[in-house]
Amino acid sequence: MPVVVGVRFKERGKIYYFDPGDIRVNQDDRVLVETVRGIELGFVALGPKDVPPERLVLPLKKVIRLATPEDLVTHEANRKKALDAMETARAKIADHGLEMRLVDAEFTFDGSRVVLYFTADGRIDFRELVKDLASTLRTRVELRQIGVRDQAKLTGGIGPCGRPLCCASFLNDFLPVSIKMAKEQNLSLNPTKISGTCGRLLCCLRFECEHYEDAKSTLPPVGAKVITPEGEGKVVAQNALKSSLSVELEGGKVQEFPAEEVEEKKA
């Protein structure tokens, strides 16, 4: 199997695999790598490991070399230039009257291009803005529209749980999240309670969904006729975490029973 290293270009960014070749690379090393945008500086988030070819996008780009102190100085200078570029871009966006919100900016390692990330409610014609920015910044300008979930990942923040946002701390990719997952976990369907700071459904709804589905599959379904220590009744709710059932007994009384004390009535 190919030996690869996982490299991030942003602290909370996606991990990309590269071929280290004969270079001895360890986790947390700063490295220069070849990308589709040219040479970039990143840090090794995953040390050398064997990865099956089917999990890789071949051919792999190379790790060029370990970063030198001079490379780190260049990288820091680019970061400061990016902050200045954001201020200039915000002013130009206002001058052009465009309905777009600037989120982040980054220069390529060689300084030949600046990438500006923005969000907008629809499509934006920014051709004149790009020309204006290119003449002002005297470099090639690329504008890239991102979604609100990507914006949350880039800017970070604290979630409703009081912890740093999952997307900004450990999630590498955004996986689909559906309202069905909230229903499966018997959560309130109030949008303010199951939405993150980005306004989309909470990513964490997905974390325990599989456990709930597995646990519920072993319990009699809602509506099933069952026999309990208190007599016969009908299941009105499942509690997957407690492995218990709420049963409506004859007379309308609802009582909760451990699942092992409840037997589904055969048809």
- Residue-wise pLDDT for 8-42, tens only, equals 888 777 888 898 988 898 888 999 998 888 889 99
Residues near 157 by beta carbon (within 8 Å), at least 6 away in sequence: 164, 165, 168, 197
Q: Confirm if 86 and 102 have CB atoms less than 8 A apart.
A: yes
**Residue pLDDT, tens place only, 199-235:** 899 999 999 888 888 888 888 888 889 888 888 889 8
**Residue pLDDT, tens place only, 158-196:** 888 889 998 888 887 788 999 999 988 888 889 888 999
Q: Would you identify the CATH topology of the domain 219-264?
A: SH3 type barrels. (2.30.30)
pTM: 0.74
**Residue pLDDT, tens place only, 234-246:** 988 888 888 898 9
pLDDT over 70 at 267, yes or no: no
Q: What does the alpha-carbon distance between residue 105 and residue 142 come to, in Å, rounded to a whole number?
A: 10
Identical topology for domains 73-146 and 219-264: no
Q: Give the DSSP H or E segment for 168.
A: helix 166-169
Q: What does the alpha-carbon distance between residue 119 and residue 191 come to, in Å, rounded to a whole number?
A: 22
**Residue pLDDT, tens place only, 43-59:** 998 888 887 777 777 78
- Give the pLDDT of residue 132: 93
- Give the pLDDT of residue 50: 82
Tokens representing 213?
A: 């589905």
- Give the pLDDT of residue 200: 92
- Give the pLDDT of residue 114: 92
Residue 42 burial (CB count, 10 A): 25
- Give the pLDDT of residue 212: 87
**Residue pLDDT, tens place only, 71-80:** 999 999 999 9
Q: What does the alpha-carbon distance between residue 231 and residue 21 come to, in Å, rounded to a whole number?
A: 71
- Give the pLDDT of residue 263: 86
To the question of domain 73-146 being in CATH 3.60.10.10, the answer is no
Main-chain dihedrals φ then ψ at residue 185, nearest 5 degrees = -100, 10
Domain boundaries, the chain: 3-67, 73-146, 151-206, 219-264
- Give the pLDDT of residue 215: 83
**Residue pLDDT, tens place only, 85-133:** 999 999 999 999 999 999 999 999 988 899 999 999 888 889 999 999 9
Question: What mean pLDDT is reported for the chain?
Answer: 88
- Give the pLDDT of residue 79: 92
